[in-house]
Structure 1
Amino acid sequence: MMWTTALLSIALVAPVARAFIRLPCSQLVTERFDPFDLTMDPNIDLAEESTCTTCRFKEDKSNYWTAVMYFKHPNGSYFRVPQMANHNTGPGYQAGGMTVYYFQPVPPTQNLTIVPFAKGFRMLVGNPMRRKNDIPAHQTAARATTFRCFQGGDPGSIGAPGGVEDSFEFPDRPCTGGIRSNIYFPQCWNGVDLDPPDHQSHVAHPIGGSFFGTDCPPSHPVRLPLLFIEIVWDTRAFNDPSFWMDGQPFVFSMGDPTGFGQHADYVFGWEGDSLKRAMDVCTSYDGIPANCPALTVQSMDRMNNCRVPNKVPEPVEDIYLRELPGCNPIQAGPAHATVVPSCDKVSTTVDAPLPTQPPSIVTPPWPVCWDGPGEDPSGLAPKCDPPKNPKRHLPRRGLEARVTELPF
């Protein structure tokens, strides 16, 4: 399978009774390897082992992992869809990556006390083999993974993602501003296991059909911070009507053309008790990193330049591919996908030098910071760095030219 990992993207959340920490994290690497396989030793302290982080807060060296989205050309080839900065994540543009949230619990839940993640804690949300909407609608898990179809720079509703304007499957129409993945991790823990073999049974979603204000089930009574991530896919170059004649043209790297298989992994890696200290102190509703005095903010350039080399020797992006990386044929369902037996693709890693080329950065169709005059009326946008930043027309990986070419 194909994965994107990032050591260390709800564009706007209504500023009412939901305290949270919000931080952008740029891309660390794109390759076909699961961080659960690379970092399975629970005794490894990611914060101590890491020399840098792609996240805004220097203390966060956690691993946030998601599947990769590809565009399938009518000729059958594949091109990786790049990621871009979310709304209000500046100043500056991050190189791909995502936006990460840690929410506090809110009334009327009976337990407003959260227990921080422990060293060695890992969890997975979603099912990569899923190909239809088969979770009962009354269950909170039914809305754990959704998509937002952006039109231009409009972020849509400022309420919690997963509502009526979002879809459980890939959007069925072109999205002129890109597509955002919305992923809620479970927030209830059994209080015992840090990482069971299935990476899921030790955690659960709250009961009651909502991620906010509801209680944990008796089997998982310990309340964790609600981890939520957003990934904004730059699909603007793939909106030509000819690409949509046979339906929406996107597919996840594990061969999922439906979007129901969207999933993500989390490996905890905050330094010491820094996450707990931050959630005790940073209880505002703006999610602006600079307004959290308990943590250290680093520059976007430092974030973007924290990278590692690809360890799996195969091409995965920036060129058209004849097939998805690994043994991942398209499986549209509606039955669950199956693993391809006797896969003959490369399965070993190699040592490689660190990247020396600057990361490619996508300029999104919306501002990422408030440049005045005066104060941001919403109170949600960080201030731009003085002096006023010139408009930057940064490379978009040459997608427009590549997409119209027939590579084979």
Structure 2
Amino acid sequence: MKGVFVAALGLLVPTNALLRFGCAKSSIQRLDPLVNPGQSPSPHLHQIIGGNSFNISMDPATHDLVKQSTCTSCQFTEDLVDTDHSFHSSNYWTAVLYFKAKNGTFKRVPQRAQQGIESTQGGMMVYYMSDALFDQAQKSKVTAFKPGFRMLVGNVNYNNREEARNFRQLTYICMQNEGTREPETINFPDKPCPAGIMANHRFPTCWDGVNVDSPNHQDHVAYPESGTFESGGPCPKTHPVRLPQILLETVWDTKAFNNKADWPSDGSQPFVWSSGDSTGYSSHADYLFGWKDDSLQKHLDGHTYVSAPTLKTQSIAQQNKCTVKDMVGEDYDSWLKALPGNVMVR
């Protein structure tokens, strides 16, 4: 996975190679407007970045999506749409990582900002790319997402390697230092990771060209017919439109939990997703598109990456101020006797 290694290590990629930006954490709570719209609380806990329009229900037809958003926790302010003086912004979210102690209690693992955005409160690094990761020119044509576009990658119910193969490149990196980007595994690391565990979520990159969503939030998109986006694999005829590759990197700061004396006595690894998965195979992420007008398409067409002169930026202090109000009101951060929502570990 040479291409993945080169580009995921954004600090070593030439500044014209891809669009890469940091997003501060905007909220941690048990809501999922994509999979469980209108349900509060949702079955398991999520960490959320992006616009403060994130809500219990985000049905585009009801305009719940736009009526309250005034900011984004991401670096680029164009990742925020103004529609008749109402705003909505892209949102990205994943499950939350917990440490399970020998006595059966749970502690949330904090998110850690990567080098270059150290002052950002947790959050993620987000990538949009139009070509193979190892191709610094990034000259291929991709079609930016359309208004209302949303998708889900991964499956919360998966718990074995064969199931996980249905989704390409949902991986983990056991970071030895800030620059570690290999090897990648599809299950949780089985040893302490000195610089934390990086979770990577790469979304499908082929679209049917018609639907901005589907009942399971997955059927309107697909992976390349062969290979991966990075290897230049062609899109299937059913999904002929090539989309940008979205990659989310979240670094979970596991340093406080690296004493193996605190790990299970049977030698198994101690981390579990807030969904109850202790294998890592259920890794999943959600995306709601919200870029302003055609700003993303213009940027992708311009091939001016990372430095992004066509895009307006905001300071990290401004990003950190953009938060989503707590709509659930539960303790997710203390030592807990059970995962939030009493989710069972499996």
Partners of 1:98 and 1:232 within 8 A in 2: yes
Q: Does 1:230 align with 2:249?
A: yes
- The one-character-per-residue Cα deviations of 1:158-210 (angstroms, maximum 9, x if unpaired) are xxxxxxx1111000000010000011001100111111110001101112222
Aligned to 1:10: 8
Distance in 2 (CA, whole Å) between partners of 1:86 and 1:183 is 16
Aligned to 2:148: 120
Q: CA deviation at 1:113?
A: 2.3
Higher alpha-carbon deviation: 19-28 or 38-47:
38-47
2:202 to 184, 189, 192: 184
Distance in 1 (CA, whole Å) between partners of 2:339 and 2:126 is 27
- Aligned AA (2:180): P
Question: What is the CA RMSD across the aligned residues, in angstroms?
Answer: 2.3
Partners of 1:126 and 1:264 within 8 A in 2: yes
Q: Does 1:264 align with 2:280?
A: no
Q: CA deviation at 1:51?
A: 0.5
Classify 1:66/1:102 alpha carbon distance in 2 versus 1 (closer, same or farther; 3 Å): same
Distance in 2 (CA, whole Å) between partners of 1:274 and 1:309 is 28
Q: Does 1:193 align with 2:211?
A: yes
State the TM-score, normalizing by the size of structure 2: 0.81
User: What are the within-5 Å matches in structure 2 for residues 71-90 of structure 1?
Assistant: 71-87=99-115, 89-90=116-117
Q: CA deviation at 1:282?
A: 4.1
Partner of 1:275, secondary structure, is helix
Partner of 2:162, secondary structure, is coil
Q: Does 1:214 align with 2:233?
A: yes
Distance in 2 (CA, whole Å) between partners of 1:305 and 1:189 is 34
User: What are the within-5 Å matches in structure 2 for residues 259-338 of structure 1?
Assistant: 259-284=280-305, 287=306, 291-317=307-333, 319-331=334-346
Q: CA deviation at 1:47?
A: 6.5
Q: Does 1:99 align with 2:125?
A: yes
Higher alpha-carbon deviation: 170-179 or 42-51:
42-51
Partner of 1:278, secondary structure, is helix
Partners of 1:131 and 1:258 within 8 A in 2: yes
- The one-character-per-residue Cα deviations of 1:37-59 (angstroms, maximum 9, x if unpaired) are 23431243856742011000011
User: What are the within-5 Å matches in structure 2 for residues 24-35 of structure 1?
Assistant: 24-35=22-33
Q: CA deviation at 1:19?
A: 3.6
Q: Percent identity, aligned pairs only? A: 44
Larger radius of gyration: 1
Q: Does 1:23 align with 2:21?
A: yes
Q: CA deviation at 1:26?
A: 0.6
Gaps of 5+ in 1: 1-8, 158-164, 332-408
Partners of 1:173 and 1:248 within 8 A in 2: yes
- Aligned AA (1:66): T
Aligned to 1:155: 180
